[in-house]
Structure 1
Amino acid sequence: MKKIFRHTLSCAAVALALGLTGTASQAAGNEILLGASVQLTGPVANTGRYYNDAYKLAVDQINRKGGVTVNGKKYTLALKIYDNQSDVNLSVRQYTQLVSQDKVNFLLGPFASNFALADSAVSEKYQIPMVQGGGASDQIFARHFKYVFGTLAPASNYFSSTIKMFKQLKPQPTKVALLYADDSFDVSVANGTRPLLKASGADTVLDERYSSNASNFNTLLSQIKSKQADAVLVAGHETEILNFIRQAKSLDVSPKFYSFTVGVPSDDFRKALGKDAEYAFGMTAWLPSPTLKDDWFGDAAQFAKAWGAQYRYEPDYHAASGVADVEALVKAIEKANSLDPKAVRDALAASNFQSLYGHIKFADNGQIHLDQTVIQVQNGKPVAVFDGEKFLKQPQYPMPDWAKR
């Protein structure tokens, strides 16, 4: 049975209770309704919750700060969120319901590229703007859609800073294993990483795809060991990476360097592994710096503090990108001075503002570009070590053998 989550402040809650749903181009009373389908249960719910929590926190904060002004009239933001149960087909049906039956004004995205790839087709079909910070696959933005906008940097560039760092590590990694899941995000990561590795002069000794939600990596780990890879790059989702690391320890597969597209920035990931998370590298386009400012939270450090107080866990770039999605829509609505979907879509395309997540300026394909900072787990915390050009802090490298930790 699908679960529906509604979230507003009191006046908007009353409007929902009375059934005051508007059309896509005209808000009900003083309410602007945003809709989303996210993974609140199922295999990727641990990351999906970032978006649910981000949307709620952003809506609450924007409403507390006065809401949204259109043509001199004040509007309150409201949310309608469905639980897609980590089922992409259900997610598509729910987005269709959001626009065709629930009559939401605008859309926020799900987590994961394969979901965003499918769900954004609904946005395009009905010409309702969707801003999503959960899908980074290049495939999402290669279709020349006009109504989908993304706040994650291109997946094809995720390992760029990591590979640039190779040349400054001593000893320099020369034999690299590239592993990636078979979903659209991880395939895009792999497609972008191959030419970067080739240009770096590294020898790719293993290039293997595995099934999404894989639980057994023993065969791949044995190949890593037999081919004597000294660096391993893994594109996957958090549960897969947890399984990979646990089995690497069990088989004592200890290259000099591990890096993962997800996990390292996540508090839950590090808690799940404990000391076994040490030395793992990852990347992030966001850190809670006080230099990143916005109109509602103040700055990223204040946002992180508010997030921790509200949810009792630390935000990462998923959380920040989710908040930026809401902020981008509000900026566009006020810039357009209209609730007309096309006018807001055009304002989104012209976005150019600073958020607590970073600079929001969409390219012609609807995606933003943000540099990835290399991070490493050191003493249980993610530490920024390389910015794409120089070391910010000395990495702990090479990684010691499991048996010697």
Structure 2
Amino acid sequence: MHTALRHGLPLAALALALSLGGTAQAADNQIVLGASVQLTGPIANTGRYYRDAYELAINQINRKGGVTVGGKKYTLALKIYDNQSDVNLSVRQYTQLVSQDKVNFLLGPFASNFALADSAVSEKYQTPMVQGGGASDQIFSRGFKYVFGTLAPASDYFGSTIKMFKQLKPEPAKVALLYADDSFDVSVAKGTRPMLKGANLNTVLDERYSSNTSDFNTLLSQIKSKQADAVLVAGHETEILNFIRQAKSLNVSPKLYSFTVGVPSEDFRKALGKDAEYAFGMTAWLPNAALKDDWFGDAAQFAKAWGAQYRYEPDYHAASGVADVEAIVKAIEKAGTLEPKAVRNALAASDFNSLYGHIKFADNGQIHLDQTVIQVQNDKPAAVFDGSKFLQEPKYPMPDWSKR
């Protein structure tokens, strides 16, 4: 597992500023972006994607000449705190970033429950925040004007998967829906229910579980007794790992499992080894050379640069984090000023191509990107369905655990 220690980051909630000058104080020619990210604690393994994305994007933009504002050149700097996977600490740190550290603009944390709480700080202080770590519809349903998100709505995460169900042979007859009790997963479930109903699929189990739970035995026993053909699970990576391991131990073998997280992640596949095979997931991003930007060239070049720098593969978390920085830079240059309201208005009018995809925020501040269904095949995530057609043959039905 990659942790904060990989970069020599301290375990305490300590601020770092990463800039060409290597100083924690903003110079006259610096634009300081602030963030609080999970560098330690239970969800640090995903939180580090955002720290790494912000670093890589800022360094690349600085190498390419920095940011031009009204004819003056600026470099970017990053001031980042470790929220230790604690929401309350994260809110305090974002408050400090704006009120004491006086950063210019904000980048987001990972996870919807963090983005939900932290964006209230950006709204209170009218400091724009662009975040690619929270997809919950709840974040964008409050009428806030200063938070922008580069993840597609959580309510549509299983949309492409359900469309795929209708084209599978045999079509799944009975579906189980499980979801954690946090903001993101509740939004996923809320959006999934009407899609299942609209597809005339029979939901035989619809159950919420506690976030960070490690015991899925009761839910797995219900899946088995109700003879579910397809199981949809919305949760975080550690939960999904526990779910799969226990499914194997209990030999619970529906025709397919699909998960909101994990499948795109190299660490997830390494943690499970061969047991990750056949798992379905989804992603709004793949390192396609057709996705181009002004700084890295294209998504394939970005993925190569990421691997060389960090020694692990980027996924959509990484790409969305880079897009957050790019969106702020584009807005600053378009506004021609560092005045927060002007940059906020420029963000609202964003319309550009990034290595992550087309960045154009809806009126509520959230982006829309289609989810591609992926499946672990031969230890790699394979793109199998794009929402309308198969891109390659899925491995379906999943074989019984006892016969693998």
1:112 aligns with: 111
Structure 1 residue 84, shift from structure 2 partner? 0.3
SS in 1 for 2:207: strand
Structure 1 residue 172, shift from structure 2 partner? 0.4
- Distance of 1:312 and 1:287 partners within structure 2: 18
Q: Residue deviations 1:101-155, cap 9 Å, x none?
A: 0000000000000000000000000000000000000000000100000000000
1:123 aligns with: 122
- Distance of 2:19 and 2:41 partners within structure 1: 28
- Distance of 1:353 and 1:346 partners within structure 2: 15
2:365 aligns with: 366
- Distance of 2:169 and 2:144 partners within structure 1: 45
- Distance of 1:239 and 1:7 partners within structure 2: 30
Give the residue type in structure 2 aligned to 1:357.
Answer: Y
Structure 1 residue 4, shift from structure 2 partner? 2.2
2:199 aligns with: 200
> In the TM superposition, what are the counterparts of 1:5-404 in structure 2 within 5 Å?
5-11=15-21, 13-14=22-23, 16=24, 20-21=25-26, 28-404=27-403
SS in 2 for 1:33: strand
Q: 4+ residue stretches of structure 1 with deviation over 6 A?
A: none
- Distance of 1:403 and 1:8 partners within structure 2: 51
Give the residue type in structure 1 aligned to 2:79.
Answer: K
- Distance of 1:161 and 1:326 partners within structure 2: 28
Q: Residue deviations 1:360-401, cap 9 Å, x none?
A: 000000000000000000000000000000000000000000
Give the residue type in structure 1 aligned to 2:186.
Answer: V
Question: 1:2 touches 1:82 (CA, 8 Å); kept in 2?
Answer: no
- Distance of 1:77 and 1:139 partners within structure 2: 31
Question: 1:152 touches 1:367 (CA, 8 Å); kept in 2?
Answer: yes
Sequence identity (%): 85
- Distance of 1:80 and 1:156 partners within structure 2: 32
- Distance of 1:277 and 1:4 partners within structure 2: 36
Question: 2:247 touches 2:253 (CA, 8 Å); kept in 1?
Answer: yes
SS in 1 for 2:14: strand
Q: Residue deviations 1:261-317, cap 9 Å, x none?
A: 000000000000000000000000000000000000000000000000000000000
Give the residue type in structure 2 aligned to 1:30.
Answer: N
2:4 aligns with: none
Give the residue type in structure 1 aligned to 2:261.
Answer: V
Question: 1:7 touches 1:56 (CA, 8 Å); kept in 2?
Answer: no
Give the residue type in structure 2 aligned to 1:40.
Answer: L
Q: Which runs of 5+ in 2 are unaligned?
A: 1-10
Structure 1 residue 5, shift from structure 2 partner? 4.2
- Distance of 1:105 and 1:164 partners within structure 2: 43
SS in 2 for 1:265: coil
Q: Residue deviations 1:177-213, cap 9 Å, x none?
A: 0000000000000000000000111100000000000
Structure 1 residue 71, shift from structure 2 partner? 1.1
Residues matched between the structures, number = 394
Q: CA RMSD in A?
A: 0.8
SS in 2 for 1:53: helix
Q: What TM-score comes out, normalization by structure 2 length?
A: 0.97
- Distance of 2:129 and 2:19 partners within structure 1: 22
- Distance of 2:45 and 2:16 partners within structure 1: 20
Structure 1 residue 10, shift from structure 2 partner? 3.0
Question: 1:95 touches 1:122 (CA, 8 Å); kept in 2?
Answer: yes
Question: 1:4 touches 1:80 (CA, 8 Å); kept in 2?
Answer: no
Structure 1 residue 7, shift from structure 2 partner? 4.0
Question: 2:34 touches 2:97 (CA, 8 Å); kept in 1?
Answer: yes
Question: 1:283 touches 1:374 (CA, 8 Å); kept in 2?
Answer: yes
Question: 2:176 touches 2:205 (CA, 8 Å); kept in 1?
Answer: yes
Question: 1:70 touches 1:337 (CA, 8 Å); kept in 2?
Answer: yes
1:25 aligns with: none
Q: What TM-score comes out, normalization by structure 1 length?
A: 0.96
SS in 2 for 1:149: strand
